[in-house]
Amino acid sequence: MTIKVPGPVEDPDLIRLDLLTWPEVQAYLEECKGIILPIGSTEQHGPTGAIGTDLLTAEAVAIEVGRRTGVLVAPALPYGMAEHHLGFPGTMSLKPETLMTVVHDLVISLARHGFERIFVINGHGGNIATAKAAFAQAYGTAVDRGLLVAPRLRCKLASWFLVAPVFSLARELYGDKEGQHATPSEISLTLHLKPRLIQKQRKLDDPSPVGPINGFKDFRQRYPDGRMGSDPFLAKPEHGSSLLSTAATSLTEDLKQFLIYHE
């Protein structure tokens, strides 16, 4: 069985759930049972990266995938599991159990209305384990509550920065200086989306350290300026444009495949 893919739209506002009315959503559900949910984080990204980097990037990729497919895009979740970044001002974190509850409740809300395929585009590595646990819990809840979509309900987590073509492009552009956090690839995408952020860029001490991720005090001690092995000064807006297109192209195909299933 294939869930219908509505088709590309020119105006991205047409696929934003928050700009639709409930009768429009009801009409959409008669044709398509899929929806995109972007999740990010509000956390430090080194001394030159925007605190909203993970939100901005996940939302932008999600909107572009939605524009290319016509699949609805839910409002982005701006907070994630960022406990290890709490040593830096501005970081706002959800505990793993809180994030699990939030994602679970959002999935069940959508499932109750008849959405069967929830494609989560993620911008933060710290969300991955918790989001997957939330999906597993939601499947059980859907059965326990007798939701009509329970047998067909599926969620998929797609971290845009881990998509193979994106990963390869980032390594091609930045080599080992891509690093693990406050990476030039994600900073490039923010520069493309918000050009004024380029004013914050400056050359930093290189190299920045790499290593394990533990509690926020240990993290601040190991990585004093918040970076992990990265050189965000290499970021360029034109790189961000290419990375966005690469991520959207790959995830558009992933979403289309996700909307095909066998009963």
Tell me, what CATH number does 230's domain have?
3.40.50.10310
Q: Is residue 55 part of a domain?
A: yes
- In terms of residue numbers, what domain contains 226? 12-258
Q: Is residue 25 part of a domain?
A: yes
User: Would you say the pTM of this structure is higher than 0.95?
Assistant: yes
Q: Is residue 176 part of a domain?
A: yes
Q: Is residue 201 part of a domain?
A: yes
Q: Is residue 178 part of a domain?
A: yes
Q: Is residue 1 part of a domain?
A: no
Q: Is residue 6 part of a domain?
A: no
Task: Return the HEC string of the chain.
Answer: CECCCCCCCCCHHHHEHHHCCHHHHHHHHCCCCEEEEEECCECCECCCECCCHHHHHHHHHHHHHHHHHCCEECCCECCECCHHHCCCCCCEECCHHHHHHHHHHHHHHHHHHCCCEEEEEECCHHHHHHHHHHHHHHHHHHHHCCCCCCCCCEEEEEEHHHCHHHHHHHHHHHHHHHCCECCHHHHHHHHHHCHHHHHHCCCCCCCCCCCCCCCHHHHHHHCCCCCECCCHHHCCHHHHHHHHHHHHHHHHHHHHHHCECCC
Number of domains in the chain: 1
Q: Is residue 162 part of a domain?
A: yes
Q: What is the mean pLDDT of residues 182-203?
A: 98
Per-residue pLDDT tens digits for 48-107: 999 999 999 999 999 999 999 999 999 999 999 999 999 999 999 999 999 999 999 999
Per-residue pLDDT tens digits for 203-238: 998 879 999 999 999 999 999 999 999 999 999 999
